[in-house]
Amino acid sequence: MILCALLVLLLPLPVLAAPTQSERTPLTIELLQERLRSPILREGNLTVDLRQMVIDLRPENSGFRDAFYQLLRKELQKTGAKPLGLDLSYTLIQGNFVGSDLGLRTPLYAQAIAPIFTATEQEQLERLRLVCLQSLAVGLPHSKDCRSLLGTQSSLSSDVTVFRGALTLEQTRFNGEVTFVNTFFLQSVDANNATFIQTTNWNEARFSRPVDFHNTSFRQFSDFQDSVFFDKANFKQAQFQEAANFQGTFFENTVSFKQAFFKQLAKFNTVQWQEKADFSGVRFANQVRFTKASFNQQLDLAETTFEQAVIFREALFNQQVDLRGASILNQADFSDVIFSQAAFLNVPGLTFNSNQAKILGNPGQIGKMFSVPTIQGNQNVLRNLGQNFRQQQQVADANQLEYTKQQLRLKELTKRLIGTNINSASVTSLINLGFSPTQANVIVQRREVKAFRNSSELLSLADIDLEIYTKLSDRLVVAEPLSLGTWLLEALRWLALSVLLLLSGYGTSFWLVFGVGGVAIAYFGLLFWLVDRTRRLRPIAIIPTYYETVSILISFTCLEFISLFAIFENAEQPLLTLTCLLIIIVPVPVGLLVRLYQQGRYHDLLKVSYFTEDGTFRQLRLLIGRLPVIPRNQTFRERYMPLLSDRRWNWLNYYDFSLNNLVKLGFNDIRLRDEHLPGLVATLAWYQWTLGLLYITLVLWTLSRTIPGLNLLIYLK
């Protein structure tokens, strides 16, 4: 006996199940009057205790129904310092339940609010005016009381039903329709695990305190249109078996639909979310609409499944939209969406098949909004997103995703080249990184037995705690140790990728390439003019005229301004792009010029231009196979004549030569002469010509990625 008693005391008590209908007490008029006379104290508030009962409000029981509403309304509307709450937990309600009939009808105008309300309650009622003003500011449609309060339709009544006390509906079952139309709840509403068999109407309801619909089941249509939630709203794991209407709703505080289920159409059009909206883990089996919704804080859609279309058309995002691990199985429409500077679409682990689903958005805008932290594990995501936009002929968006992908690859290469590889780093390097000497020695001992495959394996070591791992994980590299040759090859890859990203956006921006070419053409044109026209000051000066000097400087300034404008307008990091370009075009040419003027020029034909032009005809020519110096052939020497330095437009020829060298296109075939030509001048021309081969390749590659038809031909498979 003693052993049995101990087992009863020590074993945990089982969780109480919801009472069955046979365990519930039928509510009678006498029992109702008794409960009204002796309310219980619940969380510091007096509450009418109608728990675990059967309340029959069907039409055939009209006598009881009328008395039920009359008696309950009389007590709930009594004046007093503390309002009376209503607890219907574990109760079965048969027939329609008109909850709005239990409240007190009052106007919303400050001067007309009933005097029975306390100062706190009156302040809560007046908060609605601020919500109406916020709706007006963003141009959203207003509810009936808002239109009346704002004076847009004076004929409308602004009366509202006020439910002063707390309403508790925990595991309550409603077999009929439930109506709380235009009801203002001044205290909390707890409908945790409640079941609504028929339609529920919360149209224009106002919730001043926290609302809990956790694990609530809505079997039929649920209507929350034009409602206002001033405090936290919890719809976690709620089940909407039929359509759910939240159009025009205002959420002033955080709201959670985490792991909820929407079987039919869900409408969230024109909803205002002032704080975080949590839809993580939600399953939308049918279409969901967020048209013209306003998200002031983060929208969490992590692990959410959209089996049908999700529509965000004309929505406003002020913070990130978290789509980590989400599944888009049909269509996601982001057309005409407004993204603030801090907003983006966070899509690591996104499940999206471009052959079955589709993402829509404004061309040239939507591609810039996608973000993933690393390329590892997200290559397929970026590939599918790029394929999606190529199929829609939104080449700019597809290229933007390719640019994002290559940026991540560059980041990964950088980390691999200069990061600390825990499979090869010395104890000193690990200590300098932030590990303690004990931790560093443990890591070295572990890798001697078996190399690390990923950084998370560090947590399997007893001396490595989560704090140090989180702090250093971004700076760690887990890979095979690089040999010197492999490291150099990786460094060359890093250099080539960096140049492509900086000078062309990895082939995604023609205007950036245009700006880069413009800077180089103008710069080399000025250098060639300087080399050819400014040769010496003594004993006989060979220098350009004042007019020619002013002309070349003004034209150089204009060309550089236009080109720099194109760079700063289209480059993501314009200063780095300009720095990269200057490293390529400045040191070698400037070094050649310094050496040229140091040694001076004392050769034959000193007064004749180094540059010659084909005098047989003038036309726009494509000069892909042209070399910068004419051949040593008398026939060519007769065809190519020196530039005339006494012509006022002669300075244009130097830009033409620079254009020929870099773009392989020009108005005249201008080349260097082959006789009495300083080697440094020829080296300068050949240097630009070599850069021109690389530049024209970059131009053609960029055009192939930005021309829609050619782009589709190359990339669609």
Q: Which of 169-178, 228-237, 387-396 has the lowest mean pLDDT?
A: 387-396
Q: Is 462's pLDDT higher than 80?
A: no
Predicted model pTM: 0.82
Report the pLDDT averaged over residues 700-710.
79
Binned at pLDDT 50, 70 and 90, residue 42 comes out as confident
Q: 124-161: b or e for each residue (b if 16 or more CB lie within 10 Å)? A: bbeebbebbeebeeeebebbbbbbbbeeeeeeeebbbb
Residue 75, pLDDT score? 86
| Nearest Cα residue to 534 out of 554, 551, 549, 519 | 549
| Nearest Cα residue to 91 out of 28, 173, 14, 160 | 173
Report the pLDDT averaged over residues 641-659.
85
Residue 145, pLDDT score? 52
Query: pLDDT tens-digit profile of 427-440?
Result: 888 888 888 888 88
Report the pLDDT averaged over residues 538-567.
91
Residue 8, pLDDT score? 38
Residue 112, pLDDT score? 47
Residue 211, pLDDT score? 95
Residue 315, pLDDT score? 95
Long-range contacts of 15-18 (CB under 8 A, 24+ apart): 18/90, 18/171, 18/193
| Cα 511 to chain centroid, rounded | 25
| Nearest Cα residue to 274 out of 293, 258, 297 | 297
Query: pLDDT tens-digit profile of 361-401?
Result: 999 899 999 999 888 888 999 999 999 998 888 988 999 99
Q: Average pLDDT of the chain?
A: 85
Q: Which of 474-488, 667-681, 703-717 has the lowest mean pLDDT?
A: 703-717
Residue 108, pLDDT score? 61
Structure token digits, residue 18: 């919801």
Look at the chain and count its residues: 717
Structure token digits, residue 60: 């055939």
Q: Is 148's pLDDT higher than 60?
A: no
3-state secondary structure of 575: helix
Binned at pLDDT 50, 70 and 90, residue 467 comes out as confident
Binned at pLDDT 50, 70 and 90, residue 523 comes out as very high
Residue 4, pLDDT score? 45
Contacts of 469 (CB under 8 A, 6+ apart): 455, 456, 458, 459
CA distance 498 to 571: 13
Q: Compute the Cα dihedral for 14, 18, 23, 29 and give only its sign.
A: positive
Q: What percentage of the chain has pLDDT greater than the value 90?
A: 53
Residue 710, pLDDT score? 54
Residue 119, pLDDT score? 65
Residue 7, pLDDT score? 41
Q: Which of 26-35, 45-54, 139-148, 337-346 has the lowest mean pLDDT?
A: 139-148
Q: Which of 151-165, 336-350, 659-673 has the lowest mean pLDDT?
A: 151-165
CA distance 139 to 293: 11
Q: What percentage of the chain has pLDDT greater than the value 70?
A: 88
Report the pLDDT averaged over residues 251-274.
95
Query: pLDDT tens-digit profile of 10-25?
Result: 433 333 455 665 588 9
CA distance 110 to 74: 24
Q: Is 704's pLDDT higher than 80?
A: yes
Binned at pLDDT 50, 70 and 90, residue 194 comes out as very high
Choose between 94 and 604: higher pLDDT.
94
Q: What is the CA radius of gyration of the chain?
A: 38
Q: Is 455's pLDDT higher than 80?
A: no
- Which residues pair with residue 311 across a beta bridge? 289, 333
Query: pLDDT tens-digit profile of 568-592?
Result: 999 999 999 999 999 999 999 999 9
